[in-house]
Amino acid sequence: MRALMLDIAILLEDGWPGIDWEELAERAVTAAIAHSPYAAFVNSAATYEIAVKLTSDEEVHQLNRAYRDKDKPTNVLSFPMVQCDLLEGTANTDDGEVLLGDIVLAEGVCAREAQGKGISIADHAAHLIVHGTFHLLGYDHMVDAEAEAMEALEIRALANLGLPDPYGDRETGD
């Protein structure tokens, strides 16, 4: 089996800690894809492209307002470029490249959430990149059944990265 052909562009703005974001994003995206129904992409001849932008709360606030009509920053936004019903056929691209989409993380929100969870910003960002990748692959969490399916995939992908279940601290029966 050959390695997944990924081209991950990291756009890093001031405020984020100095870690190897390219390596972290590549590991997170690879784990998400490998634990999805699209794991066959691993053997594909196509190169899958994702841009990960690590930016400010202010920029994410503007994007959230413009694209989701929510007037506040959020931890992660995803902008898929391939319709979910067309993902299966992406390996047959004419130019050998598939732009899956963009993932945008807000530094302040990510840092506050990580601190609240007692984990590093890198570990929380890895979870958010996994989460964002599943959105690029057509997953959502608008209804309970979809949320449970997406969370189960995230938990398996994160375990592959050596990270704990981020949803394990929730109360059951809510």
Q: What is the pLDDT of residue 143?
A: 84
Residue 135 lies in a domain: yes
Q: Give the whole-angstrom CA distance, residue 131 versus residue 32.
A: 8
Q: Is 25 a domain residue? A: yes
Q: How far apart are CA 94 and CA 127, in angstroms?
A: 32
- 107 and 57 Cβ atoms separated by less than 8 Å: yes
2 falls in which pLDDT band (50, 70, 90)?
very low
To the nearest whole number, what is the mean pLDDT of the chain? 88
| Mean pLDDT, residues 6-20 taken together | 92
Instruction: Please give the Cα distance from 168 to 24 (Å, whole number).
Output: 22
Cα angle 79, 80, 85 (rounded to 5 degrees) comes to 155
Confirm whether 174 is domain-assigned.
no
Burial 107-139 (b: 16+ CB within 10 A, else e): bebbbebbeeeebebbbbbbbbbbbbbbbbbbb
Residue 157 falls within a domain, yes or no?
yes
Q: What is the mean pLDDT of residues 135-143?
A: 90
Q: Is residue 141 annotated as involved in ligand binding?
A: yes
The two structure tokens encoding residue 99: 């732009």
Q: 135: annotated binding-site residue?
A: yes
Is 131 among the annotated ligand-binding positions? Answer: yes
SS3 content of the chain, % helix, strand, coil (to 5): 50, 20, 35
Residue 171, pLDDT above cutoff 50: no
pLDDT of residue 91: 57
For residues 59-80, give the mean pLDDT.
Answer: 96
Q: How far apart are the first and last CA of the chain?
A: 43
Which range of 37-41, 146-150, 160-164 scores highest in mean pLDDT? It is: 160-164
Separation of alpha carbons 9 and 2, rounded Å: 21
- Tell me, yes or no, whether 144 lies in a domain: yes
Highest mean pLDDT among 6-20, 31-45, 82-96, 124-138: 124-138
Read off the pLDDT band of 3 (50, 70, 90). Answer: low
| pLDDT band at residue 174 using 50, 70 and 90 as cut-offs | very low
Per the domain annotation, does 169 fall within a domain? no
Evaluate whether residue 93 is within a structural domain.
Answer: yes
Residue 78 maps to a domain: yes
Cβ atoms of 9 and 52 within 8 Å: the answer is yes
Tokens of 168: 């394990």
97: confidence class by pLDDT, cuts 50, 70, 90 = confident
pLDDT in tens, 100-111: 999 999 999 999
Length of the chain: 174
Calculate the CA 74 to chain-centre distance. Answer: 14
Domain that holds residue 40: 6-161
**Pairing state between β 76-80 and 97-106:** antiparallel
pLDDT > 90? residue 18: yes
CATH number at residue 74: 3.40.390.30
Higher model confidence: residue 160 or residue 87?
Answer: 160
How many structural domains is the chain composed of? 1
